Amino acid sequence: MVWWEWGDPHAPSVVVCVHGLARQGRDFDVLARNLVAAASEPVRVVCPDVVGRGRSDWLSDPAGYQIPQYVSDLLTMLGALQARAPVRVLDWVGTSMGGLIGMGICGTPDLPLPVPVRRLVLNDVGPVIEWQALARIGAYLGRPDRFTDLEHASHALWDISQSFGPHNPEQWRELCRHMVRLTEQGDWVLHYDPAIAVPFRALTPQQAQAGEAALWMAYDAIQADTLLLRGAVSDLLSRATAVQMGQRGPRARCIEFEGVGHAPTLVAADQVGQVVRFLQR
C-alpha cells in the first residue's frame, strides 16, 4: 500500500486523510498543504491510496475490496508510522468510503491504535447510505473506459462527478491528473482496479439495510470529537441521517455546503477552511 506524506515525517501529530470509493490519496493535496501551512507545531499529513487504487497493489481476490480489509490495512499503516516516530495525536479525515473506514477505526473497541483518534471528520457519509446513490455509483464503477489524453479523461470524469459541485478548470484538472494512468498501448485508463466493483455490485438493498445496525453501533461507540460535512444536495447522506448523527453517539456537528452533492472535494477555500479550523483549533 502506497501513501503520500506532507509536512514533518517525524512529527508526533498525525492527520490521516482517506479518500472515497473510486478515488485515491492525491485528492487531498490542497487540504494537506493547508494543514501543514496553518499548523503552529509540526504535523504529518498522511494520505493513503487504499488497496486497489492509485499506486497501491491490486488484490488477487476482489472479495477483499471491503471495509474490514481496508480497516486492517490502515491499522498496518498506522503501525508503520508509529514505528518510524511515536504518534502522540491522531486525527482522521474520511471522504465517503474513507469516512466508513474511519468509523470502523474509531468505533471498534480494542484496536491496536498508536493513540485513540482525537478528532474525526466524516465527509458526506454516515451509518445510513441511500440506496439510490449506490445505484448511481454502480452505473459507472469499474467500466473499462479508455481515454485519448488527460483532457478527454477530465471531461469524462466530470460527466459522472458533477455532484462534486463547482470547480474551476485548474482545480478539476488537478483532481483528474492522478485519477488516470498511461498504458503501454498509449491510451489512458482510470487509476484503480475495475474489480473493486465486484463486491459493490453484489450488495443488495437487504444487505445494505442489515449493515446499518452495525454501522450505527460503530458510530455510537466513537469517542472522538466529530465534524460531519454534508453536501446540501447529497444523494448519499440524507439530512435526516445527518440530524440523527448530531443527536447520538459523538453528537457530530454538521456543516452543509450549498450547491454541492456527494461529495465535497475539500479543495474549495470554504471547505478547506472548515476542516483546518476544526483540526487545529
Check residue 82 and give its pLDDT: 98
Please give the backbone phi and psi of residue 66, each rounded to the nearest 5 degrees, phi first. -145, 165
DSSP annotation of 53 reads: B
Check residue 34 and give its pLDDT: 98
Ordered structural domains, the chain, with CATH: 3-131+196-280 (3.40.50.1820)
Q: Give the separation between CA 158 and CA 172, rounded to whole angstroms.
A: 8
**Polymer length of the chain:** 281
Please give the backbone phi and psi of residue 82, each rounded to the nearest 5 degrees, phi first. -65, -35
Angle at 68 between CA 13 and CA 25, to 5 degrees: 50
Q: List the grid coordinates of 94.
A: 474520511
Check residue 238 and give its pLDDT: 97
Q: Is 18 left (phi over 0), alpha (psi -120 to 50) or beta?
A: beta
Check residue 73 and give its pLDDT: 98
Please give the backbone phi and psi of residue 222, each rounded to the nearest 5 degrees, phi first. -65, 130
Please give the backbone phi and psi of residue 267, each rounded to the nearest 5 degrees, phi first. -115, -25
DSSP annotation of 235 reads: S
With residues binned 3-state (H G I as helix, E B as strand, rest as coil), the percentages for the chain, rounded to 5, are 45, 20, 40
Q: Give the separation between CA 9 and CA 211, rounded to whole angstroms.
A: 37
Q: Please name the residues in contact with 150: beta carbons below 8 A apart, sequence gap of 6 or more.
A: 173, 176, 177, 180, 188
Which of 281, 3, 250, 254 has its CA nearest to residue 103? Answer: 250
Using a cut of 0.75, tell me whether the model's pTM lies above it. Answer: yes
23, 179 Cβ separation under 8 angstroms: yes
Alpha-carbon Rg for the chain in angstroms: 18
**Average pLDDT along the chain, 281 residues, taken 10 residues at a time:** 97 98 97 97 97 98 96 98 98 98 97 97 96 91 92 93 94 94 92 95 86 94 98 97 98 98 97 97 87
Q: Give the separation between CA 181 and CA 261, rounded to whole angstroms.
A: 27
Strand order in the sheet with 146-147: 146-147, 188-190, 180-182
Check residue 206 and give its pLDDT: 85
